[in-house]
Structure 1
Amino acid sequence: MASQNIVAIVVAAAVSFLVGGIIGHLGTGIDTISSSDKEKISIMEKLVADKWESEEHLNHKIIDMVNTDNLRNNLIELAKFPHLAGTERDHQLAHMIRDRFLEAGFDTADLVPYDVLLSRPNRTNPNLITLEDGEGQIIFSSTYQEKPLHEDDSDPEFIHAFNAFTPAGDVRTEAGRGVVYVNYARVEDFDKLEELNVNVSGCIVIARYGKIFRGNKVLHAQERGVKGIILFTDPSDVAQEGVEAQDVYPNSWWLPGSGMQRGSTYMGDGDPLTPGWPSTAQAYRLKVEDAQLPMIPCQPIGYDDARVILEKIGGTPVPSDDWKGGLTGVAYNLGPELQDRYSNYTLRLNTHNVHQVHRSYNVIGTIKGKVEPDRYVLIGNHRDAWGYGASDPSSGTAQMLETARVLTQLISSTGWRPRRTLVFCSWGAEEFGLIGSTEWVEEHVNKLQERAVIYLNTDTCASGPIIHIPSSPLLWDSITLVMKMVPGVRDGATLYHEWEAHNVALNRTPSKIFTLGSGSDYDAFSFYCAIPSVDLTFQRDRSKYDIIKYPYYHTGYDTFYMMDKHVDPGFRIHQGCGRIASLLLKYFADSLIVPYSLQHLPEAMKDALDTFRKSGKRDKIINIYENYVLLEASLAKFADAVTSFQRQLEMRATNLDPVSIRAINDQMMKLEQVFILPAGLPGRPTVRHAVFASSQFDNYAPSGFPGISDLLYRIEELDAAERLKKEEEIKKHISDLTIMTERAASFLQDFHLI
């Protein structure tokens, strides 16, 4: 790791040069120096000290301090009751976390309220899907809560199944027709149906969860003229070892047939009524009807209920086996006709969701930095859950509380204090659209862009044993270094060895850290502010279980029992997560030179452009705009500038003063911000990172140069006038990217040059 070697050389040289030089200037021996001069030397030593390098024993102490019993006890408390955003239990946990921060010795810990639009089902009038026969008799009615299968599964405050921000609605099919199975409701699935002459317009469709964000599914259906959508979890994704009682929860981690995945369908981030601005008392709020929320009703169901509907669909057979799920005896026909014996049946989707403003709290705690208190190293985890939330998010919250205890105990027991300020964030209302974190970032955007060094997100620490840690390329080497320090959570010597072995099993060699897709509270930090961010999770073993998500995701079975019995007995995964988090925070808080790996940024950008070449899109782009080659040339120039910057940093190691060190850190800290488009990506004003952001057509998926991909999408299907307009947008966007890449190269020049 060349960048880390450079940092070590610079640090060692800077410390010895500065302190030695001062002593040499003031006198030949330390005993001859006056008390005031000794104080000056002490101040200088503090300014140039690299506590990560010099206090290595504290790093090992941190590893030993992260305690599995504490983590388990934290999770018992956090997952004891459902805690949907804006409910009384959610507020209680916010106060508890604030109090824990203060008791641990934080310098500040505050509740930060926002009044935001949330969504609820009607508790006394549940959302239902029904089948009626020709005489109007209801012969099937869907369930709206999971069956309690363990003693702690039932709670009167547990929310009915619903998809947040979809409207109240009452739609039904014609007798005997109007139901279409649309696979995963991706764009390509709807395209295939069109190719097969299966018309979804005016129909109710039923789709499997998975592959893409549920909000994209609803949007794609809405754009095709669908009047209602049903989402279900298929056994092929959540019950691969069988659907009998002995094969599923509570006897294993697999999902039983009544499990229903709740979740938001809002395609934006933050409060829907205050886009781009914090939802404070002074904010202008849109009318709900102007908030660009979904327009068609949607309801999730379990696979037991999905079977009842799917087995009655006739019409067109599936185009291939990959459209078939895991329900035995079900053909997964496409429709839109029902089978002949159900020709008088009508399917009805009736929802009663309500949109209403609720108060939601963030908890923000700080440990003040000793040398650079105006530089922030942040960690965040959301608090709200769709139910008990043992994995999502409480495994992350349990870890964050333990990380807070470990670092504050380090202060009280050793006198250590971080060079830079640590900021701990418990976010509210993440599940409804990353609301708490987005509102806070919108409120503090200028301060954060000037002062934030790194944001570490820990949404779901434990849903499996394999570390998954996508991030900004600037952080890749640091993440690798820390993974090599932490003991494994299985049988591996370190987390790095376990991660590498997993990648080998998946034929991913060499092992690679990925950039960030969307889906958690790093979004506003990374995609809006371009602050180097990382998402720390432990996920399923994909070499053993080739599934999209962990089976009990967003269901009533995400319980403490599930975690304690099946996912992380012994809480070693939680411990590994806490150790990684604690060490990463200390590494970035204490290193004299912020340990970014600059060379990976142009490398990752080049990899993204190479995907255009491999897919044939490069030729298409050049046919539209021949100056695309200037973007490639600018990227090569940027890569050379990074190499030159790192070489100069190494050469100047013997004469770096505190002001120069600060300026160098600022150059690196703000490098990604050069790639911010102030107006956002085309058609996406809140996504401003022009190089790395989520895909427009799958909010979960990472994408390099997403604006180019979005603008190219289906361009050949446009009429001449629309295509010409789109081509002009492509030209402008590529020009913007080229100018930003030129700026990035210039940004790394010696700081006296403009």
Structure 2
Amino acid sequence: MAVAINQARTSISKMFNGEPRSYTRFNLAQNNDADSSQVEMKLSSDVEDEVGNPEDNHAPITYTQSPLHNYKKVCYLALGTLVIFILGYLVGYVSHRKPDAAAESCPTVLASTEEEGQDEGPEVAYLPSLGWNDITTLLEQKLSPDAFNTKFSEFSLPRDQTHEAGSDGDTHLANKVLGVFKDLNMQSWEDEHHVKLPRPSSDNPSKVLFGTEEIGTPKGFLAYSEVGSKTARVVYGNYGLLEDLSACIDKKVDLNGSVLLLRAGQISFADKVANAAKHGVVAVLIYPDPSDYDFKSSTELYGHVHLGSGDPYTPGFPSFENTQFPPSRSSGLPSVVAQTITASMALKIFQKMGGDPAPPNFQGKLGGGLSTYKLGSANDTVTVTVNSVLTETEIYNVFGVIKGNEESDRYVVIGAQRDSWGPGFARSTVGTTLLVELARAISEMIKNDRLSLRRSLVFASWSAGEYGSVGATEWQEGYLASLNMKAFTYINLDGVVTGRQMFKASASPLLYDLLKKTLNQVKNPLATPPGKSLYEQHAGSDWEASILETMKMNDAAYPFLALSGIPSISFRFCKDGGEYLYSGTDLDHLDHLQYATSSKIGELAVVAAQVAGQMALRLVHDHLLPLDVERYGKEIRKQVVEVNSRVNRLKQTADLDQALSEALSVKWLTTAYGDYGRAQRNLQETIKNSDVEDKEMCRIINDRIIKVEHNLLSPYVSVREVPFRHIFFGSGEHTMQALLDHLSALQQKAPESNADLFRNQFALATWTIQSCANDLSGTVWEMKNEI
């Protein structure tokens, strides 16, 4: 304030004393030799050069001003003094106001801070929105273990009441979630789908026979198995990994036409059945071996065998009521009869099997590990009968939205599965509770604590997740065009707490940097010593190797990434050295999760909510989206280097004709990668030189960022035929992994290899990357590619 007054006094002094002022285009100088009514105006040199000098080059151009009346002088001086004083006060206030050290991005200024209806009281200052440190502190204050432990009981059902998709229990929980959203004054709605879900037949149960002796009638269930009865020799194939089946073939065991006995674990049920089908297997039995699962030998397993997501009987189409569907089915549906059996049933089969001993790594602990596992003989005949009924079922997805103030049409989706085969405490209850608690906490921060969001948050409770993300996938298929350029991140809350020793995540490379920063900020009260950040606790010397995993098809975030091209992330706290044993069983209840987490479910839920909440809030708070396009450049480079290496090996080891050898060039793929790198650097330079307060400029930059993931969906394949079109994370012949596999097949001269087909795949993958680079470059007049 004192500085401002001094500035004002100096200005007044200059006005009265006539000190000269300098201007850009001309100078005013007081003529001390003449009357004060005369002022000289000297043209600056640049203007002199432009218009020329008068005849007397040294004589100044002089203008004469007539004397003013005294009272006019006094009025003008008083008015000038008042204006300068006010300006000085404002300049002094602004320049000496302490900046918000916590704000890591430019704040959005809120409207009036006055309480409605308040007529008296002290004047409230016009405050900026919250800084980032304020936001994270508030979020931490809003979440507590006690609140989570209370909510867990509200969103769980008794053990004897089913959560299965479309059941009364599922609908009951949907209404609870919807009620919470409405109580928080969120705009909320339901999305109804009519999907075909298989159910076990109560009249004609599934059964397994060894010869003519019944092994059992399992209650466990694998949805989307082929229905029918198959009889064939039984072969033991360990986990059903491709290398396991190759080991069987190396032992001269014929898999074609056999019944394959596999133990659960390592890969999904769908992957096991798909691997078996590649070798001509007609039926698959899957059991939990005591070496992997420490529960009772009578425990049943539940799951699905659709190698995909969504309703497999409406591939590429949303299952809305009265929608006309073509007669089609997903290519991911197996043609194999598949059934789970208990460990006790598997033991009966092993005790009757003959044949050669299984390899050492195939050995398990059935029967206390006293018996040696056999591969099976030609006389070991097993019959597998699977009976299920395909039922059209109504399912409901529930949504609530917190709208942003500037770009409400852009949103982050946070989702959790609501249904489960059994009690589903870790599978559905924890995730659903996190969903509603995050919605409550952020709503309260907006209502009571001045939180202002630029973009929107959509909270989604999905049904039929146990059948392969059916609810979430059908929603995406129904709104693919609407989600493009609007939904720019998906955060999955399924299974976020299944243990406490380790932290694992799978995500789009665009989200790696945001995840790393979040892990550095979130403290874990259960760490040793307490208060360590998650990054310090779990990262190790290489955080990506320690924490990151490849996103798998059975991950609920997978269809968002590979089908819709939306950057997605899943994460979880888990036990050291293994998965949560009770998922997909009737044993997934509170007591077992308490045991797996050392009775710290509430504390871990708070930390998980902090991770999801901070990532979501950062994405909807900052001017520019914190999605790292540079990290994707590293992923592209890694793939290009691997392709180049295999092409060189192929040329050196295979007898190729000259035309094919010349055609197998990575030149254009390398050029596409180079163009992506240049586009990414150009974007960084644009960001560096841009004003983040310019809303239009921020939106243009964000558009370029958002498109990256979507542009890596191959435009050359049909979403109906190949739903997972992402060239890095998808599934099919269009992917970079398929190219690498084809190069290996060409080198080995495998029968399925085809040089012309490979060249076509290679060209399409190259142009997908090139198109992504072009779009990242910006407008068409900024693209300088010469590919």
The amino acid that maps onto 2:231 is: R
C-alpha change, 1:681 and 1:194, in structure 2 (3 Å) is farther
1:604 to 632, 635, 643: 635
Map of 1:19 onto structure 2: none
RMSD: 3.3
Question: Given the alignment of the two structures, is residue 129 of structure 1 paired with residue 129 of structure 2, yes or no?
Answer: no
Residue 454 (structure 2) pairs with residue 415 (structure 1): no
1:695-714 alignment runs, 5 A limit: 705-709=736-740, 711-712=742-743, 714=745
Kindly indicate whether residue 437 of structure 2 is the aligned counterpart of residue 360 of structure 1: no
Q: What is the CA–CA distance in structure 2 between the aligned matches of 1:675 and 1:644, rounded to whole Å?
A: 19
Compute the displacement of 1:50 (Å).
Answer: 14
For 2:316, the equivalent position in structure 1 comes to 276
Checking the alignment, whether the CA contact within 8 Å between 1:681 and 1:690 is kept in structure 2 is no
Partner SS, residue 467 of structure 2: coil
Q: Are 1:398 and 2:398 matched, yes or no? A: no
Deviation at 1:588, TM superposition (A): 0.6
Question: Partner of 1:554 in structure 2?
Answer: 584
Pairwise CA distance, 1:390: 0.8
Aligned to 2:361: 322
Question: For 2:197, which of 91, 114, 118 is the aligned residue?
Answer: 118
Q: Which residues in structure 2 correspond to 1:101-116 (within 5 Å)?
A: 101-106=181-186, 108-116=187-195
Aligned equivalents of 2:110, 2:648: Cα separation in 1? 52
Match of 1:219 in 2: 274
Distance (Å, rounded) in 1 between the aligned partners of 2:372 and 2:398: 50
1:334 equivalent to 2:375? Answer: yes
Change in 2 beyond 3 A, CA 1:416/1:595: same
Q: 2:298 aligns with which of 253, 258, 282?
A: 258
Q: Distance in 2 between matches of 1:275 and 1:332?
A: 41
Query: Structure 2 residue aligned with 1:528, among 560, 563, 579?
Result: 563
Report the Cα distance in structure 1 between the residues aligned to 2:648 and 2:583, rounded to whole angstroms.
38
Matched, 1:484 2:484: no
Q: Structure 1 residues 588, 718: closer, same or farther in 2, change over 3 A?
A: same
2:423/2:586 contact within 8 Å kept: yes
- Aligned-partner SS, 1:670: helix
Contact 2:350 2:373 survives alignment (8 Å): yes
Residue 314 of structure 2 aligns to a residue whose secondary structure is coil
Displacement of 1:413? 1.7
d(CA) in 2 for partners of 1:61, 1:704: 43
- Matches of 1:390 and 1:539, distance apart in 2: 15
Query: Does the Cα contact within 8 Å between 2:497 and 2:573 map onto a contact in 1?
Result: yes
Instruction: Report deviation, 1:336.
Output: 2.5
> What SS is found at the alignment partner of 1:365?
strand
- Counterpart position of 2:683: 645
- Tell me the residue number matched to 2:144: 67
Secondary structure at 2:197's aligned position in 1? strand
2:241 partner amino acid: R
Alignment partner, residue 171 of structure 1 = 230
Does the CA-based 8 Å contact 1:376-1:451 persist in structure 2? yes
Superposition pairs for residues 380-459 of structure 1, below 5 Å? 380-459=415-494
Going from structure 1 to structure 2, the CA distance change for 1:678 and 1:50 (only over 3 Å counts) comes to farther
1:523/1:646 Cα in 2 relative to 1: closer, same or farther (>3 Å)? same
Offset of residue 682 of structure 1: 11
Task: Please tell me whether residue 92 in structure 1 is matched to residue 172 in structure 2.
Answer: yes
Q: Is the 8 A contact 1:270 1:435 kept in 2?
A: yes
Deviations 1:264-297 (A, max 9, x none): 1012321112111111134333547787632332
Q: 1:586 to 1:504 in 2, by over 3 A?
A: closer
Cα deviation, residue 742, structure 1: 2.6
| Stretch deviating more after TM superposition (386-395 or 744-753) | 744-753
CA distance in structure 1 between the aligned counterparts of 2:262 and 2:666, rounded to whole angstroms: 39
Q: How does 1:456-467 map to 2 (within 5 A)?
A: 456-465=491-500, 466-467=502-503
**In the superposition, relative to structure 1, how do residues 51 and 200 fare at CA in structure 2: closer, same or farther (>3 Å)?**
farther
The whole-number CA distance in structure 1 between the counterparts of 2:155 and 2:743 is: 45
Query: Which of the residues 740, 749, 763 maps onto 1:735?
Result: 763
Could you tell me whether the CA contact under 8 Å between 2:144 and 2:603 is conserved in 1? no
Q: Equivalent residues in 2 for 1:653-732 (5 A)?
A: 653=691, 657-680=694-717, 685-693=722-730, 705-709=736-740, 711-712=742-743, 714=745, 723-724=753-754, 727-732=755-760
Contact persistence 1:163–1:262 (CA under 8 A): yes
Q: Which amino acid aligns with 1:591?
A: D
Does 2:288 match 1:233? yes
Give the deviation of 1:88 after TM superposition.
1.4
Which segment drifts farther, 86-95 or 623-632?
A: 623-632
Partner SS for 1:236: coil
1:184 alignment partner, one of 224, 239, 242: 239
Secondary structure of the residue aligned to 2:348 is helix
Partner SS, residue 270 of structure 1: coil
Residues 494 and 693 of structure 1: is their aligned pair in 2 closer, same or farther, counting only changes over 3 Å? farther
Which letter does structure 2 place at the counterpart of 1:179?
A: V
- Give deviations 1:88-129, integer Å, cap 9, x for gaps: 1111111111111111221x1111110001111123443222
Cα deviation code 1:638-672 (max 9, x no counterpart): 2233123213321334x862211111111111122
What does residue 196 of structure 1 align with?
Answer: 251
Q: Shift in Å at residue 476 of structure 1?
A: 1.1
Distance 1:679 1:87, change over 3 A: farther
Q: Is the 1:472–1:515 Cα contact (8 Å) retained in structure 2?
A: no
Compute the displacement of 1:607 (Å).
2.5
1:618–1:517 CA distance, 2 compared to 1 (3 A): farther
The one of 726, 746, 749 equivalent to 2:774 is 746
Is contact 2:425-2:590 (8 Å) kept? yes
Q: Which has the higher contact order (CA 8 A, sep 6+)?
A: 1
User: Which residue of the partner structure matches residue 7 of structure 1?
Assistant: none
CA distance in 2, matches of 1:142, 1:713: 44
Q: 1:657 to 1:88 in 2, by over 3 A?
A: same
**Whole-Å separation in 1 of the counterparts to 2:138 and 2:329:** 55
Is 1:54 the equivalent of 2:131? yes
SS in 2 for 1:536: strand
Q: 1:79 aligns with which of 156, 159, 184?
A: 156
**Alpha carbons of structure 1 residues 100 and 656: separation in structure 2 relative to 1, 3 Å:** closer
Alignment TM-score, normalising by the size of structure 2: 0.77
Distance apart, 1:223 and its partner CA: 3.6
CA apart distance, 1:692: 2.8
Q: Partners of 2:492 and 2:173 in 1: how far apart?
A: 19
How much does 1:515 deviate?
4.8
Deviations 1:685-730 (A, max 9, x none): 101111333589xxxxxx982332454575567776x533xx2232
- Could you tell me which residue of structure 2 aligns to residue 23 of structure 1? none
Query: Matches of residues 567-586 of structure 1 in structure 2 within 5 Å?
Result: 567=597, 569-570=599-600, 571-586=602-617
CA distance in 2 between partners of 1:442 and 1:220 (Å): 27
Shift of 1:59: 1.4
Write the letter of the residue equivalent to 2:764.
D
Q: Report the Cα offset of residue 375 of structure 1.
A: 0.7
Q: Give the direction of change, closer, same or farther, for the CA distance of 1:76–1:125 in structure 2 (3 Å limit).
A: farther
| Per-residue Cα deviation, 1:11-70 (whole angstroms, up to 9, x for no partner) | xxxxxxxxxxxxxxxx957979xxxxxxxxx998569x9989725212111012212122
* Fraction of identical pairs, as percent: 24
Residue pair 2:499, 2:596 contacting (<8 A) in 1 also: no
- Matched residue, 2:21: none
Could you tell me how far apart the structure 2 residues matched to 1:452 and 1:428 are?
20
Once residues 707 and 194 of structure 2 are traced to their aligned partners in structure 1, the CA distance between those partners, rounded to angstroms, is 32
By how many angstroms is 1:480 displaced? Answer: 1.1
Instruction: Determine whether 1:141 maps to 2:215.
Output: yes
